[in-house]
Every structure is written in C-alpha cells, then in structure tokens.
C-alpha cells in the first residue's frame, strides 16, 4: 500500500487505540498507532490518508502539529476524524479553537459503532486521494502553462527560422527550375544541331559526287583541248569547283561526318606559320598581333582543319572591323573548369578583335549552321559552325565572349598532349611505272557520272577498266574476271562499300582495294580497310592515279 492508504491513530486513554486498530485492520486498512501528538506530527510528515484522534489526546502540546498544518500546500486539506465525548450543550472555547486549527475535521461522538467508524475512515481516505488527484491535475496545468509560455516566447524565433528555411527551399527550387530549363534548352539545341548535321552530311555526300564529276571532266577537258580559250574557261570553272569543295568540307566538318586526322600539333608553331597568310587575307588596315605561350602547348588536332578554323575566325574579325582595328591571336595552357569538357589540361587558341562585337540576342545563335549577320552573298553562315564542329570532333569546345561595341573573343579548347620530335626527312618516293593493259581495275560505283569519270581517267592512264553499277554486279565481275585492283564507292543501294570489301576479301584476300567516299561511317570503313586506301571525294585524276599506282606498287612489293 502507498502512504496515502495509511490511517494514523492517536488515543492515549486505555485500549482505545488497540480496539480501533483491530476494527479497521479487519476491513483492510493500514493502521499506525501514534504514542503522542509529536509522533502524530512526525507520521504526517511521512505521509498518511487520514488521522483518527480521541478528543482528550489533544490536551498535550500541539505546536508541532500546528506547524505541520500551517505548512500544508494550497491543494492539501488533511482530513481528521475526532472521537469526542458526548456532552450536553456547546463545546468549550478551547475545544472549538482546536477544531478550527485542524480544519478538515469530522466529529464523531462516542460511543460509536464499528461500521460508522469504518465508513468515516473510508470516506476520508477517498477525499484525500481526490486531493492528490487535484494536485496532479494542477501540476499538469502548471506544466502546460509553463510550456505554453515557453512556446509563446520562442514562437517568433521559430517563425523567423521557418521563414528562413522556406526562403532557402524556395531559392533552391528556383535554381533547380532554372537548371532544368537550361538543360532542356541545351537538349533542344543539341537535337537541332544533330538533325541539321545529318541533313548537311547527306547534302555533302551528294554534292561530293557531283563535284567529283565536275572536277574530273573539267580536268579531262583541260588535258585534251588545244584551244587556249577553252582551257582558260575550264580553269575558271575549276576555281569555282574548288570553292564548292571547300564549302563541302565545311558542311562535313560541321556535321562531324568527316573524320579528322588528329595528331599532336605545336600551337605556337601553327599560329606563327599562319602570319603571312593572315596578313595577305586580312589586309593592311588591321594590325595583327601574335602572342604564343611561353610553355609551348601541344594539342591533339587536325592541323589543316585547325588552320581553316583560325582563318575563318580571322575573316569574321576582319569583317567586324571595317574601319580597321587589332586582331590578336594567342595560345595558352589551361585546366578544364567546365562541365562540357572532360577533366584534364587543354591548349587554348584565342582569336580576339576590337570590332563591333556581337549583340547579346545573337550570342546563342552564332554557332547555328547558315546563321550569318553578313549581307547576302558575303557569307555562308558555316564559318563558326565549322569551328564548333572541329572543336567538338577533337574532344574540345569553343567559348565566345563578346559585347556589342567592345569586340569579340573566341577560344578554341583542345586536349593537351606531349610534344613530339620532328619527323626525319623521308627519301624521295620511288617512281612507279604507268599502268598497262595487263593491269585491270574493277570500278564499282552507283553514280553514273562518277563511275564514268573514274573509267575515263584510268583508261587515259593506260589501265584496263571493268565497271559495275552496284555491289552485287561488282562481286559477279570479280568472280568472272581477274582484276588487279578494286575501286569501290561507300554509299550505294543494296550493298555498301564496306560490305563489298568484306565479301571481296573472302574470294581474293590479297587483292588491293581502294574505297572512294565523300561521306561515310569511318569507324566501319577503317575496320575493313587501311586509312591510306581511302580516296576522298571530290578527287582529281592525278590523285586517282597516285592512289592506284601506290596500291599496285604495294602489291608488287609484297
């Protein structure tokens, strides 16, 4: 039992305390008999549910009991049962004062029945428990009030903190939305560039076939005519065809369909070697400054294509400075700090000018194919797109920084590589004999004009030629005849050039083969044929003869 169930008994006369204890104990109450008033006060300090006192027991000194009663907390009103002697009339004043001091007192006059005594004790204990329940509720209310006070005190701080958190979350969300929009715009731009690249690659393929026919027939006209005027007109036409061929190369470079010949390039030597050409191209009204880097950067690039890219940038800079200005070309080494580049070191070629600059609204369009701010007839719109294509094919990138009225600065980033030693001088090439009737060449090309040009060019050089318009017919001719060499086009209906080469190798493993193409999947081509045996369209008769003679000479040497 808890201390709240204890019943304190104070009866100093006879066996009263013993009798009351027996009665209450039988009913399950925990009784404690006190020897005097001070002992009662001590037990009250320990804890109890009710005190049962005989009236005459309070005649002793009650000061300690009075102190305990005065010290009760506000919620406590300890119950007393006072067993008084039956008397007539009112109690004396002293007895009344005692009752007032004790406070919560139930007076039972003796003699008293046992059930009455037990009922009074049980009722008093129930009341005492309710006091403790009230105390618990009061403590809970006080605690809740304290917590509420603390919450109110910290509410403003928490509101400010939560507002700050919401602001940070909103900022992050805004940044993520911006990044998503930029990524989506970049994806759309990449898809657009890819689609235009495929289109330009296809156009370049057909254009190369046309140029091959034009070049070849103009060259045959020049070789066979004795009329000076006719030869001169053919020369003019060849000059125009040369310009068309350069345009085709630009298209292929942009569409990334033309494989670059990536080799270590000394960037300083490259820009310094272009000084004279740039001076003649740009003109005397513009000052050209060369600023090669002291650390001599070498980068992986196609030297010819990189020269063409720098020349295109220089021409654009010249056009942006109609009244003169300064063109500066510099090199340096940098470490990649851009997500568009793989981690590592890069060689950077920078072309900057003091011209009119580029308006902000056009910055994002300058690398688009066929986009140009020049008048009609003054530009193809492929210059910067070609620069972009060359840089991307070289595992690099292009950066542009410009403001209207403050010139432009364009950087070509290319992967750095180790310098290479100068190549030793090669011996003069061995003179190879001109073809004769014993040397047969099988020509396979689906374009009638290209096929006829190759046939005419080879026959003029003394070769016997067998011509086929597709891969299946060419393989049939291979089985029925014994050619010394095959020249096959790449893009053909039915079987492409790679498939023809693969099948031809099964029948004649050692037969030399030249693959002619202006647009091809070069990974597939190089998987079946040596890169030195690829003849790029458009080609001239001399280039055709040189490739044929080299292939035949290699076979004879083997």
Q: What is the pLDDT of residue 422?
A: 63
As a whole number, mean pLDDT of residues 430-457 equals 76
Distance of CA 70 to the CA centre of its chain: 77
512: helix, strand or coil: coil
98 lies in which domain range? 3-112
Co-location of 283 and 401 in the same domain: yes
Q: What is the pLDDT of residue 315?
A: 86
**Pick from 94, 112, 130: which residue ends a domain?**
112
Q: Determine if the peptide bond prior to 5 is cis (ω within 30°).
A: no
**Residue 221 contacts residue 234 (beta carbons within 8 Å):** yes
Size of the chain in residues: 558
Give the containing element (helix H, strand E) for 110. strand 104-110
Cα 538 from Cα 210, distance rounded (Å)? 8
Q: What is the pLDDT of residue 428?
A: 36
Q: Which residue has the higher pLDDT, 473 or 403?
A: 473
Three-state secondary structure along 34-94?
CCCHHHHHHHHHHCCCEEEEEHHHHHCCCHHHHHHHHCCCCCCCCEEEEEEECCCCCCCHH
Determine how many CB atoms are found less than 10 A away from the CB of residue 248.
24
Cα 311 from Cα 314, distance rounded (Å)? 5
353: helix, strand or coil: strand
Co-location of 405 and 535 in the same domain: no
pLDDT tier at 467, thresholds 50, 70, 90: very high
Q: Is the pLDDT of residue 443 over 90?
A: yes
Co-location of 449 and 397 in the same domain: no
Give the containing element (helix H, strand E) for 506. helix 497-507
Long-range contacts formed by 214-218: CB under 8 A, 24+ apart:
214/241, 214/244, 214/538, 215/241, 215/245, 215/538, 215/539, 215/540, 216/450, 216/453, 216/454, 216/456, 216/457, 216/540, 216/541, 217/453
Q: Which residue has the higher pLDDT, 123 or 422?
A: 123
pLDDT tier at 280, thresholds 50, 70, 90: confident
Q: Is the pLDDT of residue 472 over 80?
A: yes
Question: Could you tell me the two tokens for 550?
Answer: 């080299």
Cα 80 from Cα 123, distance rounded (Å)? 11
Extract the runs of DSSP E, i.e. beta strands, from 499-558: 513-517, 534-536
Co-location of 452 and 547 in the same domain: yes
Q: What is the dihedral of CA 415, 421, 423, 425, to 10 degrees?
A: 160
Q: Is the pLDDT of residue 488 over 90?
A: yes
Residue 224 belongs to some domain of the structure: no
- pLDDT tens, position by position, 139-184: 899 899 888 888 887 888 888 888 888 999 999 998 889 888 877 8
Co-location of 343 and 391 in the same domain: yes
Co-location of 266 and 403 in the same domain: yes
Cα 82 from Cα 84, distance rounded (Å)? 6
The helix, strand and coil proportions of the chain, stated in percent and rounded to the nearest 5, come to: 55, 20, 30
Q: Is the pLDDT of residue 292 over 90?
A: yes
The mean predicted confidence, pLDDT, of the chain is: 82
Three-state secondary structure along 276-304?
HHHHHHHCCCEEEEEECCCCCCEEEECHH
User: Number of folded domains in the chain?
Assistant: 3
**Residue 39 contacts residue 30 (beta carbons within 8 Å):** no
Residue 193 belongs to some domain of the structure: no
Q: What is the pLDDT of residue 250?
A: 56
Co-location of 411 and 267 in the same domain: yes
397: helix, strand or coil: strand
Q: Is the pLDDT of residue 497 over 80?
A: yes
Over the Cα atoms of the chain, what is R_g?
55
Co-location of 463 and 395 in the same domain: no
Q: Is the pLDDT of residue 527 over 70?
A: yes
Question: Could you tell me the two tokens for 165?
Answer: 């958190």
Q: What is the pLDDT of residue 99?
A: 79
Co-location of 280 and 408 in the same domain: yes
Cα 426 from Cα 61, distance rounded (Å)? 134
User: DSSP secondary structure string, 316-333?
Assistant: HHHHT-TT-EEEEEEEEE
Co-location of 281 and 341 in the same domain: yes
Residue 144 belongs to some domain of the structure: no
Phi-psi domain of 390 (left: phi exceeds 0; alpha: psi -120 through 50; beta: other): alpha
Co-location of 450 and 331 in the same domain: no
What CATH number did the domain enclosing 358 receive?
3.30.565.10
**Pick from 112, 147, 182: which residue ends a domain?**
112
Q: Which residue has the higher pLDDT, 251 or 227?
A: 227
403: helix, strand or coil: coil
The pTM of this model reads 0.44
Share above pLDDT 70 across residues of the chain, in percent, rounded to a whole number? 84
Q: What is the pLDDT of residue 16?
A: 87
Residue 288 belongs to some domain of the structure: yes
Residue 133 belongs to some domain of the structure: no
pLDDT tier at 381, thresholds 50, 70, 90: very low
Give the containing element (helix H, strand E) for 144. helix 114-224
Within 13 A of 445's CA, how many CA atoms are on the CB side?
27
Q: Which residue has the higher pLDDT, 40 or 262?
A: 40
Residue 501 belongs to some domain of the structure: yes
Q: Which of 193-197, 314-318, 524-528 has the highest mean pLDDT?
A: 314-318
Co-location of 289 and 345 in the same domain: yes
pLDDT tier at 320, thresholds 50, 70, 90: confident
Of the candidates 543, 530, 556, the one whose C-alpha atom is nearest the C-alpha of residue 439 is: 556
Phi-psi domain of 296 (left: phi exceeds 0; alpha: psi -120 through 50; beta: other): left
- pLDDT tens, position by position, 386-438: 788 788 888 888 888 888 888 899 999 999 999 887 644 433 333 344 444 56
What CATH number did the domain enclosing 11 receive?
3.40.50.2300
Distance of CA 365 to the CA centre of its chain: 23
Residue 434 belongs to some domain of the structure: no
Residue 350 belongs to some domain of the structure: yes
Of the candidates 301, 377, 285, 296, the one whose C-alpha atom is nearest the C-alpha of residue 332 is: 296
- pLDDT tens, position by position, 336-372: 887 778 888 999 999 999 998 888 777 776 766 555 5
As a whole number, mean pLDDT of residues 512-531 equals 77
Least confident of 37-51, 73-87, 213-227: 213-227
**Pick from 415, 431, 452: which residue ends a domain?**
415
As a whole number, mean pLDDT of residues 267-283 equals 86
As a whole number, mean pLDDT of residues 13-40 equals 91
Cα 151 from Cα 131, distance rounded (Å)? 30
Q: What is the pLDDT of residue 415?
A: 93
As a whole number, mean pLDDT of residues 197-203 equals 65
């Amino acid at each position: 039992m808890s201390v709240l169930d204890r019943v304190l008994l104070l009866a100093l006369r006879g066996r009263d305390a013993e009798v009351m204890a027996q009665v209450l104990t039988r009913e399950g109450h925990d009784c404690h008999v006190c020897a005097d008033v001070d002992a009662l006060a001590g037990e009250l300090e320990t804890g109890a549910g009710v005190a049962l006192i005989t009236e005459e027991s309070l005649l002793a000194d009650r000061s300690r009991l009075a102190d305990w009663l005065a010290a009760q907390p506000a919620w406590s009103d300890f119950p007393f049962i006072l067993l008084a002697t039956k008397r007539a009339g009112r109690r004396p004043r002293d007895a009344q004062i005692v009752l007032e001091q004790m406070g919560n007192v139930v007076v039972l006059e003796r003699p008293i029945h046992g059930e009455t005594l037990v009922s009074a004790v049980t009722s008093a204990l129930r009341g005492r428990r309710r006091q403790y329940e009230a105390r618990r509720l009061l403590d809970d209310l006080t605690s809740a009030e304290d917590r509420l006070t603390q919450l109110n005190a910290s509410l403003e701080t928490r509101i400010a903190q939560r507002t700050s958190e919401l602001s940070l979350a909103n900022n992050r969300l805004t940044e993520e939305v911006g990044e998503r929009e930029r990524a989506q715009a970049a994806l759309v731009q990449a898809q657009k560039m890819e689609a235009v690249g495929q289109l330009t690659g296809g156009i370049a393929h057909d254009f190369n076939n046309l140029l091959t026919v034009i070049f070849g027939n103009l060259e045959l006209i020049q070789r066979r005519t004795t009329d000076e005027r006719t030869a001169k007109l053919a020369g003019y036409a060849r000059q125009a065809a040369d310009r068309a061929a350069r345009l085709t190369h630009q298209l292929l470079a942009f569409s990334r369909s033309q494989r670059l010949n990536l080799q270590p390039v000394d960037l300083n030597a490259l820009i310094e070697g272009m000084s004279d050409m740039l001076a003649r191209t740009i003109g005397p009204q513009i000052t050209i400054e060369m600023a090669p880097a002291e650390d001599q950067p070498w980068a992986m690039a196609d030297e010819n294509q990189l020269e063409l890219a720098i020349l295109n940038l220089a021409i654009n800079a010249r056009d942006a400075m109609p009244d003169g200005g300064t063109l500066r070309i510099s090199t340096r080494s940098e470490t990649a700090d851009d997500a568009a580049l793989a981690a590592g070191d890069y060689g950077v070629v920078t072309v900057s000018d003091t011209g009119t600059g580029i308006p902000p609204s056009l910055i994002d369009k300058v690398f688009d194919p066929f986009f140009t701010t020049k008048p009609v007839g003054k530009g193809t719109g492929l210059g910067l797109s070609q620069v972009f294509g060359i840089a991307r094919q070289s595992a690099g990138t292009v950066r542009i920084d410009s403001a209207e009225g403050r010139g432009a600065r364009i950087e070509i980033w290319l992967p750095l590589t180790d310098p290479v030693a100068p190549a030793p001088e090669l011996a003069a090439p061995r003179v190879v004999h001109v073809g004769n009737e014993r040397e047969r060449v099988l020509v396979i090309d689906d374009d009638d004009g290209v096929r006829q040009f190759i046939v005419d060019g080879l026959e003029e050089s003394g070769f016997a030629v067998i011509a086929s318009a597709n891969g299946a017919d060419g393989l049939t001719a291979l089985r029925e005849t014994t050619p010394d060499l095959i020249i096959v086009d790449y893009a053909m209906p039915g079987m492409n050039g790679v498939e023809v080469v693969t099948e031809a190798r099964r029948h004649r493993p050692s037969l030399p083969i030249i693959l002619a193409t202006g647009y091809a999947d070069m990974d597939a081509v190089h998987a079946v044929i040596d890169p030195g045996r690829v003849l790029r369209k458009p080609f001239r008769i001399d280039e055709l003869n040189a490739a044929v003679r080299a292939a035949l000479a290699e076979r004879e040497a083997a």
